[in-house]
Copies of this chain bind each other. A is one copy, B any other.
Amino acid sequence: MSVDQEVPALFREKISRRGYDAIAKCKHFVEEYCIPGDRIYLSQIREEKSERWKQTPEIVEKLKQKAKDAGLFNLFLSTHYKEGSGYTNLEYGLMAEYLGKSLIAPEVTNTNAPDTGNMELFARYGTPYQKKRWLGPLLRGEIRSAFLMTERGTSSSNALNIACSARKNDRGNYVINGLKWFASGAGDPRTAVWLVMCKTDDSASKPYRNHSVLVIDTKKALQSGRAKLVRPLSVFGYDDAPHGHFEISFDDYEVPSEDMENVLLTDEGKGFELIQSRLGPGRIHHCMRLIGVAEYALSRAAYRAKNRLIFGVPMFKRESFLTSYTQHKINIQKCRLLVLNAAYKIDISDPKSAREEIALAKIETPRTVVNVIDWAIQMFGAEGVSQDVELARSYAAARTLRIADGPDEAHLGQLARQYFKSENSTEFFKKLDQRITNLHKL
């Protein structure tokens, strides 16, 4: 089936010729290089504890070059950005579905979190220095970055809880104290810059202006000995080395004087605005990829079922297999429509206006996909939980997306408040009796 035909009818005319070409190229690149590359990647990851955070599997840089050569780099930066690749969010959404099928495809095409969100922030809010120093190398895939937001012991669904402090000392330099964790990507030896959400003010009168995002040079911070990679956190037993998810401590870390001029991303007190802006597209990028994760899991299950006999009958001929498979296909299609509808809404407006559409996609997609993968695991039996098919790894990654960027429950609660603001049953039912009376007289 050609890529054109795979695009749901509804979207076809909204995609440019250039968009179709890129989607088709993504598909080919993922199938030809990235999925095969996943196996090589995993075999190149060294297991020794001392080595896990000092490596970059060779296949990554090799394929990164291939992606650059093919023009498949930074696809996520939509037409909203001048540095962007010039694709719409809708177009990127269709590409991201393919990228989601491979573990390494996002990094290889420079579309992986948290770098994508960080690049968007730099592109939108960065000073010329920050753009040159950090955005450039990030866009070229030379360095990596981390976003230090979540803290241990507080609910990150309410950013007011962020307690990591950055206070100016008498030299006028920020001094950072606090403990961040689940800083994804912080384990990578190429990580050169951290964006750190800090409390720079305590004024009770303006709680939403108390936080700022600081741009921290990772190497300097670590060399100072006052910022530390405390430990990697595991996700269902995976440490995801060398990317990783780290606990990071700041113990009176003073930002060097020479960096103070460009230490703030936009103005002090704008932390909230920045993280709000950061989350929208990021959430939808995750969802786009998850559609691909789910389709790939189904594809694996289908292949298994075609080649596995259960009491003499191929598994794919069993009614229970067929109906579950089909129901999962339907469930994915429902999420796909939600995700692409949100992407399109961003395209014709902006992330803020698309808040409701993004929330729907964010709430539904991870849990749907988690169920798809869980079913695929079950179809594989014991092999399904093992390293041989890597479905369990997909499961773990998808499962965390029911938590990351706000748990399902928080989004549902927020959406409820939004819905009830515009709920107009009172208006209607209050008029009903009068209308019945009017009608009787007709």
Give the docked Cα–Cα distance between A341 and B303 (Å).
29
Q: A334-B364, A392-B237, A439-B59 are in contact. Are A424 and B322 (CB under 8 A)?
A: no
Q: Are A384 and B396 in contact (CB-based, < 8 A)?
A: no
A140 at the interface (CB under 8 A from B): no
**Identical chains bound together, number:** 4
Q: Per DSSP, are chain A's interface residues mostly helix, strand or loop, or mixed?
A: helix
Which residues on the B side are within 8 Å of A432 (C-beta)?
A: 35-36
A10 touches B344 (CB 8 A): yes
Contact across chains for A393 and B338 when beta carbons are under 8 A apart: no
| Tally of chain A residues near chain B (CB < 8 A) | 110
0/1 string, A6-42, CB within 8 A of B gives 1: 0011110000000000000000000111011101100
Could you mark each residue 42-57 of chain A with 1 if its beta carbon is under 8 Å from any beta carbon of chain B, else 0?
0000011100000000
Which candidate, A126-134, A250-258, A324-332, is the interface stretch facing chain B? Answer: A324-332
Choice from B10, B158, B302 contacting A425 with Cβ under 8 Å: B302
State whether the Cβ of A385 lies closer than 8 Å to any Cβ in chain B.
yes
Judge if A97 is at the interface, Cβ distance under 8 Å.
no
Name the B residues within 8 Å of A408 (CB-CB). 378
Restricting to A218-245, which residues have a CB under 8 Å from any CB of B?
Answer: 233-238
Complex CA distance for A425 and B296, rounded to whole angstroms: 9
Chain A 67-107 near chain B by CB (<8 Å), digits 1 or 0: 00000000000000000000000000000000000000000
**Closest partner residue, chain B, to A150 (CB atom):** B382
Q: Nearest-CB distance from A105 to chain B (Å)? A: 13
Q: Is A308 an interface residue (CB 8 A)?
A: yes
